[in-house]
């Protein structure tokens, strides 16, 4: 220890492998995007400095406003649903019934699968003429092309993908709660609902915070599922922000505007995360014993 | 800034796991997106190297999904291939920014004229025609015989006079069989209907379709085939799955399928019933087929101009493109090599004359301009609603047009 303090570079040398990764793949791209948002660049001709012009254009672009609204609606459906269902699943699996280990694995399968592949499979399941779901319902429902159904359908698939992953975290959280708390509650005469509400949920707060924060960020950045299922249609009803940024960058080749949108999304996510953290900090205890 | 851009380019390249090797003199790189046709090029370049022992050509395939993104970043960072495949909607951006070398070649007379037109921009030619597509009508022989329809001479007319197509489509639609593939298929259906009604899509680079009554009329006719007449599969089926109509045809659930030679192989391998190819549907303005072509362009950043020029000359010769024709992949861009392609399909019992006739008749150019792809994508998301019946045709076309023109704006 004493040697390392005298020679700080030893510490940095040990850090170097991961530092290279963090700087090269995290810090540098963020800086590049921030700088790029001040230029006009189509990837081919030389970039031109335009100052804050990209931001002015982007912030008054109705497409961005609409896309933010679509994204917000998507987040509002997905995050509570996947957190709630994930918690329920975890509570069920926590009972350690025979086979629950197998179920635990099965629930995570969608999450480890490629979202693009899942999107293609679901597009096929939801096909109005030959799809499995409509055959099961015995009724023709145009899930992905009806203005009112497309976003809920894509959101449902996203929730289905994430539930197992969320449940895994809750399971770990539940395992961390010593049995005597719940036992004491039971001896004091609390029913199972009261135990859940007054004992288990408060002790799960660190887990809930983590699951909500990462879930929210992931939901804001959703791209693959939408791309595979609807490409933003019908009429922009599923045109989430990541999909808009992709189009701006790689079909319109307006890298500066796409970068400006990315920076705005970045700022938005930081704000939301900080707000969440404030809320939970007041109510969370990491101490169990 | 330059450093940052370079860095960005490097990051993108790292992301694509691509390493472009140092170019030796005498090595020319050639890039395309089609793995099948790449085999034909390997064969072609083997013959080329035999005639030009000093030059070897490396063929690299970049899948379609990444092709334009990767090309743009490669050109931006100076690591572009020497010769590259391009389509009509993408070359404009590079031509306008001096990233391509204009083609000055005396062989031009032997190339497919409509493809030469597509790649002529600002008075210069920017690519050597490699292959092309026109449109014709695939038909299911069993179904047309049963319905008593002659697919060879079908005419549609929005005014109703002399419309022989609609009654035929109605007669062909029975049970789970649809008569015709009316859908938001730009190349195979939409633009052909617009052209055959005497309408226009673009004027120069700008989109003008909503301002042309003939275009509006043609789109209305198409949309009615789906929503009113029900002689085509519901738009909900065809908009989320671009291959749906092809699948329906090969399953024997679609009688008439207007499309290009790019589906020959899928139909040949997939259809278990007798089928044929008829001329595309005629409209009030006759048969006007979309013609689309792929060309080989040269990067202006090539470090090996002489060798690159020689490769381009080879690609513009009949020997150069013959493997593409002989392998049955596509109509070659050099007229003299055409018979090899038609001979390949004749051996399989398929007569390609309707495609050739379409190429020689009046044609409708595929979209051009530096951001034509972006314009088409932007229009497409609104047109989707028009075909789904969620937006009226006139209102929808107006919105689609302004979306498209916004998207191509600098």
**Chain A CB within 8 Å of residue B291 CB:** no
Domain extent, residue B80, equals 15-133+292-356
Alpha carbon B289 to chain centroid, angstroms: 11
Cβ atoms of A224 and A116 within 8 Å: the answer is: yes
Query: Are B217 and B169 part of one and the same domain?
Result: yes
> Do the strands B136-140 and B178-180 form a parallel or antiparallel pair, or are they unpaired?
unpaired
* Average pLDDT score over residue span B218-246: 94
- What's the CATH code of the domain at B278? 3.40.190.10
pLDDT of the residue at A4 = 52
Spatial neighbors of A171 by CB under 8 A, at least 6 apart, are A90, A93, A94, A104
Cβ atoms of B252 and B141 within 8 Å: the answer is: no
**Residue B259: which H helix or E strand, with range?**
strand B254-259
Spatial neighbors of B69 by CB under 8 A, at least 6 apart, are A250
Q: Tens of pLDDT along B272-311?
A: 999 999 999 999 999 999 999 999 999 999 998 999 999 9
Give domain status of residue B79, yes or no: yes
- The nearest CA of chain A is from the CA of B94 a distance in Å of 7
Q: Tell the residue number behind the tokens 């969370």, with chain if given.
A: A284
Query: Are B187 and B303 part of one and the same domain?
Result: no
DSSP letter at B283 equals: B
Could you say which of B317, B335, B356 is where a domain stops?
A: B356
* Secondary structure (3-state) at B150: coil
Query: Are B271 and B313 part of one and the same domain?
Result: no
Query: Are B169 and B90 part of one and the same domain?
Result: no
* Average pLDDT score over residue span A32-44: 92
Q: Is the pLDDT of residue A42 over 50?
A: yes
Give domain status of residue B326, yes or no: yes
**Chain A CB within 8 Å of residue B233 CB:** yes
Give domain status of residue B399, yes or no: yes
Q: Is the pLDDT of residue A282 over 80?
A: no
* Average pLDDT score over residue span A65-88: 96
Query: Are B323 and B380 part of one and the same domain?
Result: no
State the burial class of residue A213 (Cβ atoms within 10 Å of its Cβ: 0-12, 13-18, 19+).
middle
Sequence spans of domains, chain A: 61-283
pLDDT of the residue at B10 = 45
Query: Are B157 and B204 part of one and the same domain?
Result: yes
The fold of A61-283 is MetI-like fold (1.10.3720)
Query: Are B91 and B200 part of one and the same domain?
Result: no
Give domain status of residue B1, yes or no: no
Q: Tens of pLDDT along A165-190?
A: 999 999 999 999 988 888 898 898 88
Alpha carbon B215 to chain centroid, angstroms: 20
Query: Does the beta-carbon distance from A44 to B241 stay under 8 Å?
Result: no
Q: Tens of pLDDT along B86-118?
A: 999 889 989 998 999 999 877 788 999 989 999
Mutate which: B95, B100, B236, B243, vs A, most A CBs within 10 A: B236
Angle CA(A213)–CA(A217)–CA(A220) in degrees, nearest 5? 140
pLDDT confidence bin for B25, thresholds 50/70/90: low
Cα distance between the two ends of chain B: 21
How many domains are contained in chain B?
A: 2
Q: Which residue has better confidence, B111 or A251? A: B111
pLDDT confidence bin for B320, thresholds 50/70/90: very high
Q: Is the pLDDT of residue B5 over 60?
A: no
Give domain status of residue B28, yes or no: yes
Query: Are B180 and B220 part of one and the same domain?
Result: yes
State the burial class of residue A278 (Cβ atoms within 10 Å of its Cβ: 0-12, 13-18, 19+).
exposed
Query: Are B256 and B398 part of one and the same domain?
Result: yes
Query: Are B306 and B243 part of one and the same domain?
Result: no
Query: Are B275 and B303 part of one and the same domain?
Result: no
Q: Which of residues 138-197 of B touch A (CB under 8 A)?
A: none
**Chain A CB within 8 Å of residue B57 CB:** no
Give domain status of residue B6, yes or no: no
* A-to-B residue pairs, Cβ atoms closer than 8 angstroms: 98
**Residue B316 to residue B127: CA distance in whole angstroms:** 10
**Residue A63 to residue A72: CA distance in whole angstroms:** 14
**Chain A CB within 8 Å of residue B119 CB:** no
Give domain status of residue B8, yes or no: no
Query: Are B141 and B264 part of one and the same domain?
Result: yes
């Amino acid at each position: 220890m004493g040697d390392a303090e005298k020679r700080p570079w030893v510490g940095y040398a040990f850090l170097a492998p991961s530092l290279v990764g963090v700087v090269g793949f995290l810090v540098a791209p963020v800086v590049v995007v921030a700088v790029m948002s001040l230029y006009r660049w189509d990837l081919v001709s030389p970039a031109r400095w335009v100052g804050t012009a990209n931001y002015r254009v982007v912030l008054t672009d109705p497409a961005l406003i609409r896309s933010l609204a679509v994204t917000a609606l998507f987040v509002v459906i997905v995050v509570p649903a996947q957190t709630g269902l994930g918690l329920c699943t975890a509570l069920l699996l926590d009972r350690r019934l025979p086979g629950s280990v197998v179920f635990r694995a099965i629930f995570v399968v969608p999450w480890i699968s490629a979202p693009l592949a899942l999107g293609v499979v679901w597009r096929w399941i939801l096909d109005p003429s030959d799809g499995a779901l409509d055959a099961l319902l015995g009724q023709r429902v145009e899930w992905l092309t009806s203005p009112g159904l497309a976003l809920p359908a894509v959101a449902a698939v996203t929730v289905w993908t994430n539930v197992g992953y969320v449940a895994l975290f809750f399971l770990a959280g539940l395992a961390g709660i010593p049995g005597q708390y719940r036992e004491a509650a039971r001896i004091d005469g609390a029913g199972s609902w009261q135990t859940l509400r007054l004992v288990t949920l408060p002790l799960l707060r660190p887990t809930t915070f983590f699951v909500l924060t990462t879930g929210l960020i992931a939901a804001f950045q959703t791209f693959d599922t939408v791309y595979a299922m609807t490409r933003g249609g019908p009429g922009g009803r599923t045109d989430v922000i990541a999909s808009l940024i992709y189009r701006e960058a790689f079909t319109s080749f307006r890298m500066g505007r796409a970068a400006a949108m990315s920076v705005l999304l970045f700022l938005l996510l930081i704000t939301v995360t900080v707000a969440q953290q404030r809320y939970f900090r007041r109510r969370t205890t990491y101490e169990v014993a | 800034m330059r450093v940052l851009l370079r860095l960005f380019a490097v990051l993108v390249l790292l992301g694509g796991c691509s390493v472009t090797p140092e170019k030796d003199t005498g090595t020319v790189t050639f890039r395309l997106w089609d793995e099948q046709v790449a085999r034909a090029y390997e064969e072609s370049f083997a013959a080329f190297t035999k005639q030009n022992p000093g030059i070897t050509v490396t063929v690299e395939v970049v899948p379609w999904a990444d092709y334009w993104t990767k090309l743009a970043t490669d050109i931006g960072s100076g690591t572009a291939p020497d010769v590259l495949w391009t389509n009509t909607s993408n070359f404009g951006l590079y031509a306008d920014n001096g990233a391509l070398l204009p083609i000055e070649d005396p062989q031009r007379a032997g190339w497919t004229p409509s493809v030469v037109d597509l790649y002529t921009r600002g008075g210069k030619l920017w690519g050597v025609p490699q292959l092309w597509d026109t449109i014709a009508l695939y038909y299911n022989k069993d179904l047309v015989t049963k319905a008593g329809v002659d697919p060879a001479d079908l005419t549609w007319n929005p005014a109703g006079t002399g419309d022989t197509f609609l009654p035929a489509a109605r007669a062909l639609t029975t049970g789970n069989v649809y008569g015709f593939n009316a859908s938001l298929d730009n190349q195979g259906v939409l633009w052909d209907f617009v052209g055959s009604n005497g309408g226009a899509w673009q004027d120069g680079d700008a989109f003008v379709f909503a301002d042309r009554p003939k275009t509006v009329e043609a789109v209305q006719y198409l949309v009615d085939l789906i929503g009113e007449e029900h002689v085509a599969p519901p738009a909900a089926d065809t908009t989320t799955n671009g291959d749906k109509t092809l699948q329906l045809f090969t399953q024997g659930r679609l009688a008439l399928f207007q499309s290009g030679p790019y589906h020959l192989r899928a139909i040949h391998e997939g259809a278990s019933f007798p089928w044929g190819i008829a001329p595309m549907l005629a409209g009030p303005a006759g048969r006007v087929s979309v013609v689309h072509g792929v060309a080989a362009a040269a990067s202006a950043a090539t470090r090996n101009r002489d060798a690159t020029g020689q490769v381009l000359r080879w690609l513009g010769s009949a020997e150069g493109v013959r493997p593409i024709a002989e392998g049955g992949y596509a109509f070659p861009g050099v007229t003299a090599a055409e018979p090899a392609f038609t001979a390949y399909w004749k051996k399989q019992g398929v007569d390609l004359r309707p495609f050739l006739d379409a190429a020689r008749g009046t044609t409708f150019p595929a979209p051009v301009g530096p951001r034509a792809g972006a314009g088409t994508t932007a229009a497409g998301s609104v047109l989707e609603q028009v075909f789904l019946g969620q937006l009226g045709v006139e209102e929808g076309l107006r919105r689609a047009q302004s979306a498209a023109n916004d998207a191509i704006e600098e």
